[in-house]
Amino acid sequence: MGLLENINSPADLRRLPVEQLQPVADEIRQYILETMSRVGGHTGASLGAIELAVALHYAFDTPHDRLVWDVGHQAYAHKILTGRREGLPTIKQYGGISGFLRRDESEYDTFGAGHASTSLSAALGMAIARDKKGEDHHVVALIGDASLAGGMAMEAINQAGHLKSRLIVVLNDNEMSIAPAVGALTGYLNRIRGAHQYHRFKEEVEEKLLAIPSVGERLHHAAKTVKDAIAAAVLPGALVNELGFKYIGYVDGHNTRALVAALREAQQIKDGPVIVHALTTKGKGHPRAENDYYRWHATGPFDLQSGEAIKSKAASPTYTTVFGNTLAELMGRDEKIVALTAAMPDGTGICTALEQFPDRSFDVGIAEQHCVTFAAGMSCEGLKPVCAIYSTFLQRGFDQLIHDVCIQNLNVKFCLDRGGVAGGDGPTHHGLLDIAYLRGVPNIVLMAPKDEAEMRDMLFTMVEHVGPAAMRYPRGSGVGVPIDVEPKLLEIGKGEILRDGGEIAIVAYGSMVHPSLQAAENELLEENGLQDKVRVVRMGIPDRLVTHGDPKLLLAKYGLDADGIYTRVKESIDVLDDRRAKPQKIGR
């Protein structure tokens, strides 16, 4: 390191001349690459936003000026510049810094994030509060092209254009979501890029026409009307302007000097919102990442030179893979089944269906609410939609699930990956609420498989059942049980006795079944009779935020591994033994 070791806050950065920003960005890139190669993280997304972070903290007086990041997975350079440089190697690990943004982690994290498309609404709220308080600082929202297409961001744009409050939106446009970005807005942004090429072409033509002796001037004039009509159709930001935003761009998002200039221009706009359109490359700076930015959005540890992933061998297939394969298998047998994902084709395993049945598989983009009601519409017409949405992201579609699907008893299936503790992504990504938020909803059938073989049976049972149904399953590898060739129909609403014993019953749901069985392996449970009282011990995640970290570690912390379950059961037996030894008086 050279410059970076002396930058402990954005104020240090702002003391540098503008020409030193690029060397700072280069050092940050090296540091992120080197650190991520050891610990893994949102490598590609963060490599793409380094110059943006540098230019933003340089051009604005943060934290006095408010900088609001969307999702936060791309904000590693922001963390490095805001006093968390040395914490980077601990990112996403238990006790380390968060992989996203947290207000309680830094005053520079003005708004907590993890889910997409929140930055514009939050920033608009801050801008309005500033105006009401008679203050004068800037409010800047950063958002990716895929997140901009999310419903909430669109709703914020609609209101911002109407309120005409001073707000700066920086669009980090890399043409990518995690997967390639989808949707008409992506087409629009592509046209803006195309329009710039048109402008360059137009300038060249104009120069050439004017250079023709004597007739050049007249030809130029005649061509102007036609050119203006074309220009109006493809003008960069025409739609944005119509919505009440000024448009600056596009600008090379890896050129710190150009970015600072564009941001300073945006600071001059006092009478309404402005959008600065920056073009970036996901994974910028590692040849492997730039060529394969889809896989590099987030990575585990990798070899720094070759970019090759360093993988620990998975003992058994993941729930995601078993789900994806089983769904594709069922789609092969029943052409009414359609597969849906909201921007997570790989994360949910829907990629297999997208590949094998492209006509019956849809990536709707970061639009969980739309996904649910889109599925509801399909089911009205006799299709059998299966929505694969992470437990945490289905929270976005909760009202749609109630109002559009369950009240109408429509035949929509929900497959919730990452049910339970999600790991390093932390509180915004744990799937800890779905049991609570789904069990009160009328008509829906809920399921949670104890292992990957049962997951196949449950998926088959769900698609055969007529009416809404949801299945939740954990992140990561299955238990390693053999998988039957043919999935079986299960009886809905019926539990299973997996082990007979004495007077202790361990009742477990889904992924807690196997650790409970392991805990019950100990002879102690049979040895202790509980004649005089039944005591119910509930084990689960407590009603508080669960931090980030390795899921095994987090489950152990809350006593939800085999050892923890064993200990709690043993403790409760000891208490009962004590009570039996000294009978308690009831009443006075």
Ligand X SMILES: Cc1ncc(C[n+]2csc(CCOP(=O)(O)OP(=O)(O)O)c2C)c(N)n1
- Ranges assigned E (strand) in 242-373: 246-252, 273-279, 337-341, 361-363
Q: How far is the CB of 92 from ligand X (least distance, A)?
A: 14
Q: Which of 67, 68, 116, 459 binds ligand X (CB under 6 A)?
A: 116
Active-site entry in 66, 130, 282, 475: 282
Tell whether residue 413 is a contact of ligand X (CB under 6 A).
Answer: no
Q: How far is the CB of 253 from ligand X (least distance, A)?
A: 10
| Range in contact with ligand X (rule: CB under 6 A) among 141-149, 324-332, 414-422, 557-565 | 141-149
Active-site entry in 27, 51, 368, 454: 368
| Range in contact with ligand X (rule: CB under 6 A) among 51-59, 67-75, 259-267, 471-479 | 67-75
Distance, CA of 47 to CA of 335 (rounded, Å): 42
Q: Which of 21, 176, 508, 554 binds ligand X (CB under 6 A)?
A: 176
| Range in contact with ligand X (rule: CB under 6 A) among 142-150, 198-206, 398-406, 513-521 | 142-150
Within residues 356-375, the interface with ligand X by CB under 6 A covers 366, 368
Q: Which residue is nearest to ligand X (CB)?
A: 144
Closest by CA to 7, choosing from 67, 71, 60, 79, is: 79
CB neighbour burial string for 259-295, b if at least 16 within 10 angstroms, e if fewer: bbbbbeebbeeeebbbbbbbbbbbbbbbebbbeebbb
CA R_g for the chain: 28
Strand partners, 30: none
Tell whether residue 97 is a contact of ligand X (CB under 6 A).
Answer: no
User: Is residue 396 annotated as a catalytic residue, yes or no?
Assistant: yes
Nearest CB to ligand X, comparing residues 189 and 209: 189
User: Is residue 227 annotated as a catalytic residue, yes or no?
Assistant: no
| Range in contact with ligand X (rule: CB under 6 A) among 145-153, 484-492, 536-544, 567-575 | 145-153
Tell whether residue 307 is a contact of ligand X (CB under 6 A).
Answer: no
Nearest CB to ligand X, comparing residues 70 and 457: 70
Nearest CB to ligand X, comparing residues 120 and 448: 120
Q: Which of 35, 62, 74, 119 binds ligand X (CB under 6 A)?
A: 74
Distance, CA of 415 to CA of 129 (rounded, Å): 40
Nearest CB to ligand X, comparing residues 416 and 490: 416
Q: How far is the CB of 342 from ligand X (least distance, A)?
A: 6
Q: How far is the CB of 292 from ligand X (least distance, A)?
A: 14
State how far the alpha carbon of 327 is from the alpha carbons of 108, 152, 159, 331, in Å.
Answer: 44, 30, 40, 6
Distance, CA of 299 to CA of 308 (rounded, Å): 10
Q: How far is the CB of 144 from ligand X (least distance, A)?
A: 2
Tell whether residue 189 is a contact of ligand X (CB under 6 A).
Answer: no
Distance, CA of 463 to CA of 338 (rounded, Å): 11
Q: Which of 57, 66, 73, 78 binds ligand X (CB under 6 A)?
A: 73
- Whose tokens are 């196949």? That residue is 456
Q: How many CB atoms lie within 10 A of CB 94?
A: 15
Nearest CB to ligand X, comparing residues 174 and 516: 174
| Range in contact with ligand X (rule: CB under 6 A) among 10-18, 103-111, 171-179, 198-206 | 171-179
409: which 2 tokens?
């008893």
Nearest CB to ligand X, comparing residues 470 and 479: 470
Which H or E run includes 141?
strand 139-144
Distance, CA of 185 to CA of 173 (rounded, Å): 11
Q: How far is the CB of 433 from ligand X (least distance, A)?
A: 14
Q: Quick check: bond before 236 cis, omega within 30?
A: no
Residues 6+ apart with CB under 8 A from 304: 33, 34, 37
10 Å CB burial of residue 502 (0-12, 13-18, 19+) is exposed
Tell whether residue 279 is a contact of ligand X (CB under 6 A).
Answer: no
Distance, CA of 285 to CA of 485 (rounded, Å): 45
> What is the phi-psi region of residue 71: left when phi exceeds 0, alpha when psi lies from -120 to 50, beta otherwise?
left
Strand partners, 274: 168, 246
Within residues 384-403, the interface with ligand X by CB under 6 A covers 393, 396
Q: Could you tell me how many residues of this chain bind ligand X (CB under 6 A)?
A: 23
Q: Which of 37, 98, 147, 255 binds ligand X (CB under 6 A)?
A: 147
Distance, CA of 501 to CA of 16 (rounded, Å): 72
Within residues 282-301, the interface with ligand X by CB under 6 A covers 282, 297
Interface positions with ligand X (CB under 6 A):
45, 48, 71, 73-74, 115-116, 144-147, 172, 174, 176-178, 282, 297, 343, 366, 368, 393, 396
Active site residues: 282, 368, 396
